[in-house]
Amino acid sequence: MFSFIVRRILVSIPLLFLASFIAFILVVNTGDPLEDLRTKINVPKGQIALQEHRLGLDKPFFERYFSWLTHAIHGDWGRTIKDKAVWDQISRSLGVTLKLVVFAEICSVLIGVTIGIISAVKQYSWFDHGATTGSFLLYSLPVLAVGSFLKFFLAIRLNRLLGREKNPLLKTIGESTANFCTVRKPQNCGLIPATTDFLTHAALPTLTLVLITFAGYARFARATMLETLNADYVRTARAKGLDEKRVILKHAFRNALIPVVTVVSIDFGGLIGGAILTETIFEWKGMGRVLVDAVTKVDPNLLLCWFAVTAIAVVLFNLVADILYAVLDPRIRL
Amino acid sequence: MSDEVAPILSVKDLTVEFPTDDGVVKAVRGVSFDVRPRDVLGVVGESGCGKSVSSMAIMGLLPKSARITGSIKFRDRELIGLKPKELRAVRGRQIAMVFQDPMTAMNPVYRVGWQLGEAIKAHNKHFDKKQVRSRSVELLNMVGIPQASTRVDNYPHEFSGGMRQRVMIAMAIANNPDVLIADEPTTALDVTVQAQILEMLIDLKDQLDAAIVLITHDLGVVAGITDRMQVMYAGKVVESGTAEDVFYTPRMPYSIGLLGSIPVHTQDPAAGARLKPIGGAPPSLINVPPGCPFSPRCPLSDGTLCETVDPPLLRVGPGHVAACHHSDELAAMEDPLRLFSATAVPE
């Protein structure tokens, strides 16, 4: 197992280099970071040249790439076009995104897998039909629709109904209240008010993500569970005289868990890149927003750092998926 | 075994139907048989004749959609209609089953000792870990697994097919069952391993005083080890008797057809080396035509009676019954095996 992990990490290194090179080609061709400056009138040529030099735009492609790479390996991710440290912005956004996706993913998996198992065990029952229809409906709804519906119809109306327009119960903007804990408002400083503030902000975007994600897991869990429920070893378990609960949980579910865990961990790697639409609707400054901002403003260093972080996350969680697979299935030896 | 001994398992007029989108599949159409203590009953027939479905019905392992009628009695206790909890107390304890494919019949994620222990614990709740383990090792020794005390900690995939089937048998005999149903226990195995497994089953039967129902499509498997034999076709028993009766004086053309399908090893390629296959295919069990279900494939079919009246199982000898309108003709034949003429089989 240990040698497998070391080997996989070593294999990942050239993969990440390749990914960084492809990302660099894409970023370089995204557009001109200084277009704003160039189209403005009365900007002295010297200033443009200075900015070009600062961002390294005056150097040839490969020199730019290797210069960026050497700095990145040393932990220096460069500065944005507005001359701020890229890493500060990315790490802050990563924290925001993690707060959103970790909880949402856990909820989605728990709800989805539970529904999937019950659906499979009670195949063609009213529960199964209801869950299948419901999850298909949610699965096919665009996140934009779900998010906007929750924000405008549920939250804003609910807040108005409760007469709390000033201090809404369900916050629809941002990941925390601005200037929440200051010298002037010492009662807001502490774990409990901070947690409450976070939860009221996180409720809607988390719900949005859960609603559009759990359905997929429910479908997947149902399918794998139906397969294992019809497996020969489940019949053997019943023939031993075991009770149905044990047959379902210890035999069918234990085996259905293997593909589900693999899919969930790979999915999780992809979530690090941020939930672009959800973050936009609820104005969270997470990784998704960073990507949108960086693309619209053509901010090369920011984009490259975003790519690097998400690429590492994908590689890492693929490794986690492989390890979990080996842990859950004794036939796989790493 | 004489008829005076009370049967331990008694199946009467068992029918099993499965509603499907294409119609109701009548998988078992009125099967009756008795299994006496320490008896070995061979059930033979081709795929889809209802032999596995019958055994699953006895175990109560059929899907909920199956419609079961008739009676299955274990020691005068009716099993059909038992509550799930009561049925679980019988399964694996009084009646146990060995399945066809040992590759898929064991859960791949648990050690064999764990799976054996589960079978033991299901009917011996008071056993502690140590007792369960020592019993598991004992069982593995009984079925001839070498180094049982270390093999008990292996996973199923670390065993060969034959060894896995031994473990499956160990699981089935874990609670000294009175009846052991073996559904094609050797079909998925190498020919060399088949004989060992069968020999072991018979050995265990004597050790445990259990009766065995041996289901197979291979007459070679049942020859020599069964006391009684019944031939099934299209969901019915078409002939039943001692192994000698069925092998030497078959009174139903289908039994003869099955006998003709056994490869015979001979030095002389001219004499009997060719298989004598039965032409055609078994009837659909959705719309079973009236008359004898075998009549469309039967060389003895008269085209009138055979195609209109389904022959009942009639006594043709002591303890020997057959369902054929023309069993008398067969009795008069010098060599009934010649009924199915040899067709060219590629050498």
CATH of the domain at B23: 3.40.50.300
Whether B102 and B151 map to the same domain: the answer is yes
Model confidence pLDDT, tens digit, residues A136-161: 898 888 888 998 888 888 888 888 88
Question: CATH class for domain A93-328?
Answer: mainly alpha
Q: Which residues of A touch B (CB under 8 A)?
A: 231-233, 235-244, 250-251, 254-255, 258, 328-331
Q: Do B104 and A231 touch (CB under 8 A)?
A: yes
Task: Using pLDDT thresholds of 50, 70 and 90, give the confidence band for residue A321.
Answer: very high
Domain co-membership, B127 together with B62: yes
Cβ within 8 Å, pair B118-A240:
yes
Residue B14 CA to residue B69 CA, distance in Å, equals 6
Q: Do B106 and A244 touch (CB under 8 A)?
A: no
Q: What is the mean pLDDT of residues A293-302?
A: 91
- Provide the residue type at A327 as one letter: V
Q: Report pLDDT digits (tens) over B202-247.
A: 899 989 999 999 998 888 778 878 889 999 999 999 999 998 888 8
d(CA B65, CA A58): 75
Say yes or no: B149 and B259 in one domain: no
Task: Name the pairing type of β-strands B211-216 and B40-44.
Answer: parallel
Number of domains in chain B: 2
Is A1's pLDDT higher than 90?
Answer: no
Residue B239 lies in a domain: no
Asked whether the CA dihedral A33, A38, A43, A45 is positive or negative, the reply is positive
Cα torsion for A229, A231, A237, A238, to the nearest 10°? 60
Write down the pLDDT at residue B1.
46
For residue A245, give how far its alpha carbon lies from the nearest alpha carbon of chain B (Å).
Answer: 12
CA atoms within 13 A on the CB side of A139: 14
Regarding pTM above 0.90, the answer is: no
Nearest to B104 among A232, A240, A331 (CB): A232
Q: Which residues of A touch B104 (CB under 8 A)?
A: 231-233
Q: pLDDT 10s per residue in chain B (347 long)?
A: 445 688 999 999 999 999 999 899 999 999 999 999 999 999 998 888 889 999 999 999 998 889 999 999 999 899 998 999 999 999 999 999 999 888 899 999 999 999 999 999 999 999 999 999 999 999 999 999 999 999 999 999 999 999 999 999 999 999 999 999 999 998 888 888 888 899 899 899 989 999 999 998 888 778 878 889 999 999 999 999 998 888 888 999 999 888 877 776 666 555 555 677 788 888 888 888 888 999 988 888 888 899 899 999 999 989 899 999 998 888 888 777 777 764 444 43
- Secondary structure of residue A12 in the 3-state scheme: helix
Percent above pLDDT 90 for chain A: 51
CB contact under 8 A, B119 and A254: no
Question: Across the interface, do A242 and B109 touch by the CB < 8 Å criterion?
Answer: no
Q: What is the per-residue pLDDT for B266? A: 61
Per-position b or e across B328-340, b if 16+ CB within 10 A of its CB: eebeeeeebeebb
Report d(CA B131, CA B137) in Å as an integer: 10
Q: Flag whether pLDDT at A267 surpasses 80.
A: yes
Listed in sequence order, the residues at least 6 apart from B206 whose beta carbon sits closer than 8 Å to its beta carbon are: B38
* CB-CB under 8 Å, B118 with A254: no
CB proximity B121 to A under 8 Å: no
For residue A331, the chain B residues in CB contact (below 8 A) are 108, 155, 157
Are A1 and A334 in contact by the 8 Å Cβ rule? The answer is yes
Check residue B80 and give its pLDDT.
Answer: 92
Say how many CB pairs under 8 Å bridge A and B: 72
Determine phi and psi for A117, rounding to 5 degrees. Answer: -65, -45
Task: List chain A residues with CB under 8 Å of B168.
Answer: 236
Domain around B149: 9-231
Q: Is residue B2 part of a domain?
A: no
Closest CB to B91 among A241, A254, A331: A241
Nearest Cα to A135, choosing from A112, A117, A103? A112
Q: Same structural domain for residues B206 and B264?
A: no
**Boundary residue ending a domain (B201, B231, B261):** B231
A233, A238, A250 member nearest B106 (Cβ): A233
Measure B180 CA to nearest chain A CA, in Å: 11
Looking at the structure, tell me whether residues B146 and B289 fall in a common domain: no
Dihedral of the alpha carbons of B99, B100, B101, B107, in degrees to the nearest 10 = -10
Question: Is the same domain home to B156 and B277?
Answer: no
Q: Return the domain boundaries, chain A.
A: 2-73, 93-328
Predicted pLDDT of residue A224 = 96
B101: left (phi over 0), alpha (psi -120 to 50) or beta: beta
Contacts of B123 in chain A (CB under 8 A): 241
Query: What distance in Å separates residue B183's CA from the closest CA in chain A?
Result: 12
pLDDT of residue A262: 92
Residue B230 and residue B46: Cα distance in Å, rounded?
Answer: 12
Highest mean pLDDT, choosing among A34-38, A86-90, A175-179: A86-90
Cross-chain Cβ contact A233/B155 below 8 Å:
no
Chain B, window 171-230: residues with a beta carbon less than 8 angstroms from a chain A beta carbon: 171-172, 174
Indicate which of B65, B109, B181, B184 best probes the interface with A, i.e. most A CBs within 10 Å of its own CB: B109
B63 and B175 together in one domain: yes
Is the backbone of residue B191 left (phi > 0), alpha (psi -120 to 50) or beta? Answer: alpha
B321 domain-assigned: yes
The residue of chain B nearest to residue A251, with distances taken between CA atoms, is B107
Question: Chain B contacts of A250, Cβ < 8 Å?
Answer: 118
- Partner residue opposite B61 with nearest CB, options A235, A254, A331: A235
Residues of B in contact with A232 (CB under 8 A): 99, 101, 104-105
| CB within 8 Å: A330 and B104 | no
**Residues in Cβ contact with B328 at an 8 Å cutoff, skipping those fewer than 6 apart:** none
pLDDT at A52 over 70: yes
